[in-house]
């Protein structure tokens, strides 16, 4: 009996350690999709963030259509970001900030290898997740924590495009 209690105690401690190392929390996000500069659609998402010592996974789940789900992986040690089998590298830390969105600045990521019609730049920070994604065909995706006014979302998209253009032109 004592042996069984000892084994059970060790197992519970082990599982508690596993849960601590694999932190997970869920947040609400709203995805705004822009075609060029006009708002095309907005959708409600559930963001699940799974975190351990070396990797953080961001799962954006569309609450209506599972084909619109998006997953991102962030390797902490190397600051690499992965989306849909493609690797993004960090270009500039804290390249964009807006205190209404996050107390931390967003880092600028671009594809490691140029792909014709590949994704454009991503603004990301580990605490918030992905702020935006450009699909390379004139569509921009913007993830926000709150349902914002359309004008606010347009301002963010315009600012992000200006920041990326300035970075590509002068760096």
Phi-psi region of 129 (alpha: psi -120 to 50; beta: other; left: phi over 0): left
pLDDT digits (tens, 9 = 90+) for 80-103: 999 988 999 999 999 999 888 999
Short-list 160, 60, 86, 76, CA closest to 126: 76
Could you tell me the pTM of the whole model? Answer: 0.80
Q: What whole-number distance in Å separates Cα of residue 122 and Cα of residue 126?
A: 13
pLDDT digits (tens, 9 = 90+) for 11-28: 444 444 444 456 889 999
Domains located in the chain, CATH noted: 24-170 (2.40.128)
φ, ψ for residue 148, nearest 5 deg: -100, 170
The answer to whether the CB of 57 falls within 8 A of the CB of 50 is: yes
Please report how many Cα atoms fall inside a 13 Å half-sphere around the Cα of residue 144, on the Cβ side. 20
pLDDT digits (tens, 9 = 90+) for 107-140: 999 999 988 777 889 999 999 999 999 887 778 8
Say how far residue 57 (Cα) sits from the centre of its chain.
9
């Amino acid at each position: 009996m004592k042996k069984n209690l000892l084994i059970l105690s060790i197992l519970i401690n082990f599982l508690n350690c596993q849960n601590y190392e694999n932190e997970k929390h869920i947040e609400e996000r709203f995805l705004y999709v822009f075609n060029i500069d006009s708002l095309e659609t907005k959708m409600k998402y559930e963001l699940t963030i799974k975190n351990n010592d070396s990797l953080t996974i961001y799962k954006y789940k569309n609450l209506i259509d599972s084909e619109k789900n998006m997953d991102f992986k962030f390797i902490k040690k190397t600051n690499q970001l992965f989306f849909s089998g493609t690797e993004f590298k960090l270009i500039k830390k804290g390249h964009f900030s807006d205190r209404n969105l996050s107390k931390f600045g967003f880092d600028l990521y671009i594809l490691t290898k140029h792909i014709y019609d590949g994704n454009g730049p991503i603004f990301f920070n580990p605490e918030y997740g992905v702020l935006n994604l450009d699909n390379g065909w004139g569509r921009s995706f913007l993830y926000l924590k709150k349902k914002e006014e359309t004008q606010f979302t347009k301002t963010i998209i315009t600012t992000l495009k200006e920041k990326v253009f300035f970075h590509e032109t002068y760096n």
